[in-house]
Amino acid sequence: MTCRSNKPLIKYMHVRVAFKKNKKVHERDMWIVTVFDNPADIVRYSKQAIEKMQDALFTKKAKNKELIVRKILEVVELTHSNLTIDEHKRQYKT
């Protein structure tokens, strides 16, 4: 018997990220782990994933560290989270 709950799935994703470096727009394919489904929620609420990508793409002296998640290329579902999606959003607002 499988356990069905309202807890979101933790997902391993390959995403396409756009960023500016030396006044040019670059795009890279990167991987992240998050519970959010669309690119807007990833940028807004998934602080750990964005910081991981910023550390990989920018130096410590970079002034403008803005990232845009353009699209989600591939999704692999791992397991269920212990928190609901609203609890995750509330956690990242503070």
Domains contained in the chain, CATH given: 9-93 (3.10.20)
Q: What's the whole-model pTM score? A: 0.78
Work out the number of other CB atoms within 10 angstroms of the CB of residue 93: 8
How do residues 4-57 score in pLDDT, each as one tens digit? 567 888 999 999 999 988 888 999 999 999 999 999 989 888 888 899 999 999
How do residues 52-82 score in pLDDT, each as one tens digit? 999 999 888 888 888 999 999 999 999 888 8
